[in-house]
C-alpha cells in the first residue's frame, strides 16, 4: 500500500497538480461528510419531533 511503502500520492481532485498531501484532503473530506450527515439527522429529528 501507499502508506506502508512511504510513497507520495497526489490528490486527483484538482487534476493531480497540487502538492497538498492526500491524507489531509481525505481527512477534511471525511470530516465534512460526517458533519453533513449529523446535520441531516438532527434536522430530521427536529422535523419529526
pTM exceeding 0.95: no
Mean pLDDT per 10-residue segment, the chain (49 residues): 59 60 82 96 91
Q: Is 10 helix (H, G, I), strand (E, B) or coil?
A: strand
User: Is 33 within 8 Å of 40 (Cβ atoms)?
Assistant: no
Rounded to an integer, what distance in angstroms lies between the CA atom of residue 18 and that of residue 33? 22
Amino acid at each position: 500500500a501507499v502508506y506502508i511503502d512511504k510513497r507520495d500520492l497526489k490528490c486527483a481532485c484538482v487534476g493531480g497538480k497540487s502538492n497538498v498531501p492526500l491524507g489531509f484532503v481525505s481527512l477534511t473530506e471525511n470530516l465534512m461528510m460526517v458533519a453533513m450527515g449529523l446535520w441531516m439527522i438532527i434536522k430530521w429529528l427536529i422535523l419529526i419531533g
